[in-house]
Chain A
Amino acid sequence: DAMVIQNPRYQVTQFGKPVTLSCSQTLNHNVMYWYQQKSSQAPKLLFHYYDKDFNNEADTPDNFQSRRPNTSFCFLDIRSPGLGDAAMYLCATSRDPPGQGLPRGKLFFGSGTQLSVL
């Protein structure tokens, strides 16, 4: 069963046209993360929500925003996509502190959304 779901799998947008990527989870995890992964590179954390608290990485561009309307959903908004924003965007979740029966410390990843900017 899918636990962290990202839609769509592929997203094409135009240069400068706002785009929103979505992530939902059925795990009831309190922490949700957004990572950006460019081709042949390691994933890079953009921001994360610990419950309702938003935590932005210092080097995340202002062009990237996020919303978490409830526990299950989290959105990544790119206000004015540039060519350099083309990448795979990975959503992940975790429970912190860890609950019983869960592998401690594990992040659960979605399948990602591949964003192309034309």
Chain B
Amino acid sequence: AQTVTQSQPEMSVQEAETVTLSCTYDTSESDYYLFWYKQPPSRQMILVIRQEAYKQQNATENRFSVNFQKAAKSFSLKISDSQLGDAAMYFCAYRSKTGTSYGKLTFGQGTILTVHP
């Protein structure tokens, strides 16, 4: 079974600064999806960014980018020019493409991000 680990229960950043959230995972699969989801106090799960493992290029979405290190099984999220609206719980998640775990989304424990004005 796959596991996802977020080692930072809480992080904080000043508005307009940059912050990096860490995520590691364990798998024996060669191709899979990795995601970062944002969950604000409303509890709505919002997709921030997505990476397919076979793609070497790191995904970017506006102020959000990832550092995907497949060999190290690391998938960190960098938020540039942080905004007050970025404050939320962030979950790293893994999704299998094959096998008995096909389609299932496995979440890390989450990182609470606080943005200071």
Query: Are A106 and B50 closer than 8 Å at their CB atoms?
Result: yes
Query: Are B52 and A104 closer than 8 Å at their CB atoms?
Result: yes
The interface residues of chain A lying within 8 Å CB-to-CB of B47 are: 103, 106-107
Judge if A70 is at the interface, Cβ distance under 8 Å: no
Query: Are B103 and A31 closer than 8 Å at their CB atoms?
Result: yes
Tally of contact residues, A, Cβ under 8 A = 25
Pick the residue among A40, A50, A90, A103 that contacts B103 (CB under 8 A): A50
CB interface residues, A 22-74, toward B, < 8 Å? 31, 33, 37, 40-45, 48, 50
CB interface residues, A 81-110, toward B, < 8 Å? 88, 90, 92, 94, 96, 103-107, 109
CB interface residues, B 86-117, toward A, < 8 Å? 91, 95, 97, 102-110
The interface residues of chain B lying within 8 Å CB-to-CB of A90 are: 43, 45
The interface residues of chain B lying within 8 Å CB-to-CB of A31 are: 103
- Considering the complex, give the chain B residue whose CB is closest to the CB of A44: B107
Shortest C-beta distance, B90 to chain A (Å), equals 11
Q: A43-B91, A103-B50, A104-B52 are in contact. List 7 more A-B contacts (CB 8 A).
A: A40-B110, A42-B109, A44-B107, A90-B43, A103-B47, A105-B33, A106-B35
Seen from chain B, the residues whose Cβ lies within 8 Å of a Cβ on chain A are 33, 35, 42-45, 47, 50, 52, 91, 95, 97, 102-110
A-B contact pairs, 13 of them (CB 8 A): A37-B43, A43-B105, A48-B103, A48-B104, A90-B45, A92-B45, A96-B102, A104-B33, A105-B97, A109-B45, A111-B43, A112-B43, A114-B43
